[in-house]
């Protein structure tokens, strides 16, 4: 199957694209785009991969579902397009960034610049119906993104995985802890941020680890 995704990912995932579940998933997603309003736009489904080739990946952030409001989702977990109101979870991420490393809170929710520095911002499901959270869960995306996580865990070493919340931590069970640096905390959602997301210092810890391995730090 010819999937429109960045070449290094196409090579790494080529066997996945030929599996029956992925063909069924593709049929489902195509039909959904024909019959409903689906986010993100089709060209942005694999944007997290397109902005962050395999060899560039240094950090992986695992989200759950694309934003389901108009104009929000653009293929990167937690990020929204310029000009879109900053969602609550991202506001809390910015608050922790400010507390942790003193970064001023940005006026835009677009964090593409993280991806371009090697942060793979991967949602578990890559599409969603407008206004219907979780509507594309259980259709095959989770199997695909589990494979992505497992393959880069096997292929690379010294990655930092940021697992925020129980869902991300369950997905992270395929990561090899002998090869990678895994940071876990509560999710940045307003419902859980005060249960351990605030004060986790994951941004400074990530950069300390990268520096210790002779890798360039992320300019958060």
The active-site residue out of 2, 55, 65, 99 is 65
C-alpha 148/C-alpha 153 separation (Å) is: 8
Contact 171, 191 (CB under 8 A): no
Strands (E), the chain: 38-39, 59-63, 119-123, 128-129, 160-164, 181-185
44 assigned to active site? no
The 10 Å CB-count burial string (b at 16+, else e) for 199-219 is ebebbeebbebbeeeebeebe
CA of 135: how far to CAs of 29, 37, 64, 67, 76, in Å? 11, 12, 12, 11, 18
Contact 97, 108 (CB under 8 A): no
Tokens of 120: 């793979």
Contact 124, 142 (CB under 8 A): yes
Which residues are catalytic, by number?
65
């Amino acid at each position: 199957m010819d999937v429109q995704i960045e070449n290094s990912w196409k090579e790494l995932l080529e066997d996945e694209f030929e599996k029956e579940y992925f063909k069924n998933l593709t049929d489902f997603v195509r039909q959904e785009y024909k019959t409903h309003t689906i986010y993100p736009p089709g060209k942005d489904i694999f944007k997290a991969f397109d902005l962050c080739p395999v060899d560039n990946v240094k950090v992986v952030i695992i989200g759950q579902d694309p934003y389901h409001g108009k104009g929000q989702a653009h293929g990167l977990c937690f990020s929204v397009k310029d000009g879109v109101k900053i969602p609550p979870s991202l506001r809390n991420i910015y608050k922790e960034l400010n507390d942790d490393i003193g970064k001023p809170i940005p006026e835009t929710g677009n964090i593409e610049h993280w991806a371009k520095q090697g942060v793979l911002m991967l949602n578990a499901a890559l599409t969603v119906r407008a206004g219907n959270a979780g509507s594309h869960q259980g259709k095959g995306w989770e199997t695909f993104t589990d494979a992505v996580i497992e393959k880069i865990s096997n292929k690379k070493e010294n990655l930092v995985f940021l697992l925020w919340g129980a869902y991300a931590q369950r997905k992270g069970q395929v990561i090899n802890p002998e090869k990678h640096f895994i940071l876990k905390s509560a999710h940045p959602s307003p419902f859980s941020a005060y249960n351990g997301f605030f004060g986790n210092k994951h941004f400074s810890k990530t950069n300390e680890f990268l520096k210790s391995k002779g890798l360039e730090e992320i300019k958060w």
